[in-house]
Amino acid sequence: MNHDHYDDAFIRGILTSMKTIAMVGASPVNVRPSYFAFKYLVERGYDMIPVNPGQVGKSLIGKPFVATLKDIDRPVDMVDVFRNSDRVMAVVDEALALPARPKVIWMQLGVRNDDAAAKAEAAGITVVMNRCPKIEYARLTSEIQWVGVNSRTLSAKRAPIPTRNMRLSLDRSSVSGGATKAADLAARDKNDLP
């Protein structure tokens, strides 16, 4: 696997087949990237589980924190790692010790550990490194133009304005209850035109 480049079909396949995602290193602090990613994925219909031993007893968007992967009471399709690169091997070891192993280990932006990736792949687990599922989801559904990430790509072609329950390329409902005032306003203004 070339971990310097991922084909869109590969990423799309992961995002459409995953249902339950454990986010290791999730934070309840609403200015942290893990909070934004967690909230976004919950709003897109994923069954999210926050994993952070320092937050047990609290919840994140109504989902109770667990201390470790082994404390999760159901099988997990994907483990999303919001930890430093040098901490990933421990997460992979914990995932490999689960009775039902996850199908994917996903390392967030800035997180890369080739040794941990090789160990997971040798056990049959798909690995993605240095990517954010929130950004990849938004990019593949064209929501990225409306929810805000500077792609540094100029284009005269505008994506469709996401509206409530609009089906986009990942076949999930877009804007399904999240705070999207700008997109809703843009859709309303466009619909009000003669």
The DSSP annotation for 98-129 comes to: SSS--SEEEEPTT---HHHHHHHHHTT-EEE-
Q: What is the pLDDT of residues 74-124, one digit of tens each?
A: 999 999 999 999 999 999 999 999 999 999 999 999 999 999 999 999 999
The residues facing 148 across adjacent strands are none
Determine the pLDDT at residue 114.
Answer: 97
Q: Where are the domains of the chain?
A: 8-135, 144-192
Q: What share of the chain is helix, strand, coil (3-state, %, to 5)?
A: 40, 15, 45
pLDDT for the residue 142: 76
pLDDT in tens, 131-153: 999 999 988 887 765 555 555 55
**Residue 50 confidence (pLDDT) above 80:** yes
pLDDT band at residue 125 under the 50/70/90 scheme: very high
CATH 3.40.50.720, applies to 8-135: yes
Residue range 16-37, pLDDT digits in tens? 999 999 999 999 999 999 999 9
- With CA atoms as reference, report the closest residue to 80 among 108, 57, 100, 101: 108
pTM for this entry: 0.76
